[in-house]
Amino acid sequence: MRMKTGVPQFLILVLIFGLSLPLTSLRADKKKDKDREKSLRQETSDQFLKKWLEQDVVYIITDEEKAAFKRLTTDDERYQFIEQFWLRRDPSPDTIENETRDEHYRRIAYSNERFASGKPGWKTDRGRIYITWGPPDQIESHPSGGSYLRPQEEGGGTTSTFPFETWRYRYLEGQGLGNEVIIEFVDPTMSGEYRMTMDPSEKDALLYVPNAGLTDMEAMGLASKADRFNNTDGTRMGQALGGRGIRYNQFERLQQFVALQRPPQIKFKDLETVVNTKISYNLLPFNYRTDFIKITEDTVLTPITIQLQNKDMTFQNKEGVQRAAVNIYGRISTITGRVAQVFEDVVIQDVPDSLFKQTLERKSLYQKAVPLRSGLYKLELILKDLNSGNMGTIYRGFSVPKYEEDKLSTSSIILADNIEKLSLKQVAAGQFVIGGSKVHPNVSDSFSRDKTMGIYFQIYNLAIDEKTHKPSATIEYVLRKGDKEVSRFMEEQDKLTGASQQMTLEKLYPLKDLEPGRYNLVVNVTDNLTKRTISPVAKFEVR
């Protein structure tokens, strides 16, 4: 049988099947190539992101940022996170260059070149400190060890040492480090692997050699070398004539050791060109504070209070009245850059000429209370004096706590210039209102002796007695100046009667009997039913 074309049917079948086989194979090969490309792209992406998290920024990323990064589900989100990560650390976000990022990778390259010792330089202790905190202001290097005259604080006398280096930073910002940070690295194995140490005697090569490398007191027979092994401060240092300085205190050494291994604090920077911060920064100085009041388990009322000194504002006379006006712009965003709240307002101060001089010695307050979910946020505040054009800016991070339902907790302790009870008509209306009271926070936590300090806070999740259906709590206030206890008093029981799981406490404390100085107010809260305790602390100054 022949087709109309004159081509035998079996030949057509052969052509059809013969051509379809390589076409099917070609499609399969293309699919394999596409899958292979996708797999390679995914593998490359995974390797890059893992390397970025576990190597590139391992020393400078905060725990909150790391947790946020791990919660992201797509590469687009992760790459956006990385971009925001460096933007938050960029000292000049209005330029193309990111000086912080460039300097960070320069430090990694230098560490790999300078500190490698059987493992990459970035993994070593010296590499970690260099990458995290930058080059020290001074390095005392003893690459071969040898004879060493101890400083008097370490006992004095001459000994022989392993290779070691002493790094000195004049000042390190953040983590409570501050001035004169001294770090010692020792190579006790003589392998080039320097370890950061808290014990200055670790570099002593003659430590275990009897009657060798004696301190001054040991050489004079006033101490025994064996005494070094009975120290309770974690060191093997000998006794020092005249005692040791504060930096040799075991708690100071431990605190510094831990702080050095934490990520440096983030200097939050503005991500949009609202004002030229280089020109306006701090020309209009102001202070602020954030407080936290529980609404629900995961929603927290966050009052943001701004304080301006009237003398820093510019007043203009108009028909016998001095007027100052300051615009306030605030923006709150999450760690990933999502804007959570924006607020704008104006503070106006009108003063008659007759009271102008007295008014300049006072301050002006503004407060905006916003509901936020628990988590980490960035706050950007920009203030502009409308009469002078002066501006002030603050960019800070803050953490909104999570009030878990089964955990005893408290709000912020608000130390206030004034607390006043409101009538039912006034409740929940206007600035500074919390529940049934108007609370004016003292933003600087600094009080004059002739004033009375207000104390306001709330207690959450007290247990309820099954029989009385009421909680039972003991509340004790402890006032300390340094290590000295100044006073201790209990909350009056009648104020606790009829309380529920949430309790609000307000107190006025006269300061006339306190000497000028810095104080800590510790509030010990005990749930008598569950025996759970919590002790929040508020700091203030009496002048």
The predicted-structure confidence for 320-370, as pLDDT tens digits, reads as follows: 899 999 999 999 988 767 788 888 888 888 989 888 888 888 899 999 988
d(CA 202, CA 1): 101
Portion of the chain with pLDDT greater than 70, in percent: 85
Instruction: For residue 201, give the 3-state DSSP assignment.
Output: helix
Q: Which bin fits 108, alpha (ψ -120 to 50), beta or left (φ > 0)?
A: alpha
d(CA 429, CA 441): 17
Q: What are the CA-CA distances from residue 86 to residues 59, 309, 328 (Å)?
A: 14, 35, 27
Q: Which of 83-87, 95-99, 384-388, 451-455 has the highest mean pLDDT?
A: 451-455
Does the pLDDT of residue 280 top 50, yes or no?
no
pTM for this prediction: 0.51
Instruction: For residue 402, give the 3-state DSSP assignment.
Output: coil
Instruction: For residue 22, give the 3-state DSSP assignment.
Output: helix
Does the pLDDT of residue 443 top 70, yes or no?
yes
> Please, are residues 379 and 396 in contact by the beta-carbon 8 Å criterion?
yes
Phi, psi of 19 (to 5 degrees): -80, -30
> Beta 287-290 vs 293-294: how paired, if at all?
unpaired
Q: Give the pLDDT confidence score for residue 504 in this predicted structure.
A: 87
DSSP state for residue 263 in the 8-state scheme: P
d(CA 429, CA 342): 20
